[in-house]
Amino acid sequence: MNEIVRFIEGRQVSAGEDSYYDLPGLTDEATSLYDHCTRAIKKGLRFGSHGLPLMGSGDWNDGMNKVGEEGKGESVWMGFFLYTVLMQFAEIARLKSDMPFAELCNKEAVQLQQSIERDGWDGHGTVVHILMTVLH
């Protein structure tokens, strides 16, 4: 996690585009792999009106290309994935003595679990509780 890694850089997706194909370049900026991970997690903490992660748009051939159209699509599946990342990375942050980030991960995971249980299901909640317990 202390390995120093450079960033890649490409142009922003223009208005009206879902994606583009290009070869990104390497930037001069470099930082630890740990820092790359914390930045990626923070970037992923974007939620919609139900407190579920925003899906964004996907590659046309994965069948998810319209889910996040207009920046509004939320995903229960992404919620499960993000919950797992947050819980597991909180442990890594603790090992790195980064208690503020470990606490952020735990706080966000709790809020996410509540959002999934409240708005991600048909009101029975049992399956979500079991899955969240298994993931935790």
pLDDT (tens digit per residue) in 34-59: 999 999 999 999 998 889 898 876 65
Look at residue 128 and tell me whether its pLDDT is greater than 50: no
Cβ–Cβ under 8 Å, residues 77 and 58: no
User: What pLDDT is attached to residue 133?
Assistant: 44
Q: Count Cα neighbours of 68 within 13 Å in the Cβ-side half-sphere.
A: 23
Task: Please list the active-site residues.
Answer: 62
- Residue 55: CB partners within 8 Å, gap ≥ 6? 64, 67, 68, 73, 74, 75, 78
> DSSP secondary-structure letter at 125?
-
The structure's pTM equals: 0.80
Which one has a higher pLDDT value, 37 or 118?
37
DSSP 38-70: HHHHHHH--B-TTSPBB-----GGGT-TTTTGG
- Structural domain of 8: 4-135
- Cα(96)–Cα(30) distance, rounded to whole angstroms? 19
Tell me how many domains the chain contains. 1
